[in-house]
Amino acid sequence: MPPIRTRWKVAAARALVAGAALAWGLSPAARGWLSTATSVLASGDVQRLKEWLLSYGAWAPVVSALLMIFQSVAAPLPAFVITFANGLLFGAWRGGLLSWSSAMAGAALCFYLARALGRPAVERLAGGRRALDVSDRFFARHGDRAVLVARLLPFVPFDIISYGAGLTSMGFWRFFIATGVGQIPATIVYSWLGQSMSGSVKAVFWSFACALALVVFVTILKAACRTEGDGAPDAPPPGAGDVAGGRQDSR
Per residue of the chain (251 residues), what is the pLDDT tens digit? 555 555 555 555 555 555 555 555 556 777 788 888 888 888 888 888 999 999 999 999 999 999 999 888 876 678 888 998 999 899 989 999 999 999 999 999 999 989 888 888 888 877 778 878 888 888 888 877 889 888 877 677 788 889 999 999 899 999 999 999 999 988 888 888 877 765 445 555 555 555 555 555 556 555 555 555 555 444 455 554 554 444 444 44
DSSP state of 238: T
Whether residue 236 lies inside any domain: the answer is no
> What's the number of domains the chain is made of?
1
pLDDT value of residue 30: 74
Distance between CA atoms of residues 3 and 145, nearest Å: 25
Q: What are phi and psi of 171, to 5 degrees?
A: -70, 155
Tally of CB atoms within 10 A around 123: 17
pLDDT value of residue 206: 52
Whether residue 251 lies inside any domain: the answer is no
Cβ atoms of 118 and 132 within 8 Å: the answer is no
pLDDT value of residue 244: 47
Amino acid (1-letter code) at residue 101: S
Distance between CA atoms of residues 213 and 211, nearest Å: 5
Whether residue 142 lies inside any domain: the answer is yes
Containing structural domain, residue 179: 4-231
Whether residue 247 lies inside any domain: the answer is no
Q: What angle do CA 179, 170, 128 make, to 5 degrees?
A: 75
Whether residue 199 lies inside any domain: the answer is yes
Distance between CA atoms of residues 19 and 165, nearest Å: 24
Whole-model pTM? 0.72
Distance between CA atoms of residues 53 and 76, nearest Å: 21
Whether residue 104 lies inside any domain: the answer is yes
Whether cis (ω within 30° of 0) applies to the bond prior to 76 is: yes
Whether residue 250 lies inside any domain: the answer is no
Q: Which of 115, 185, 175 is nearest to 148 (CA)?
A: 175
Say what angle helices 4-26 and 28-43 make with each other, to 10 degrees: 100
Whether residue 143 lies inside any domain: the answer is yes
Distance between CA atoms of residues 78 and 71, nearest Å: 7
Q: How far is CA 141 from CA 14, 147, 248, in A?
A: 31, 11, 47
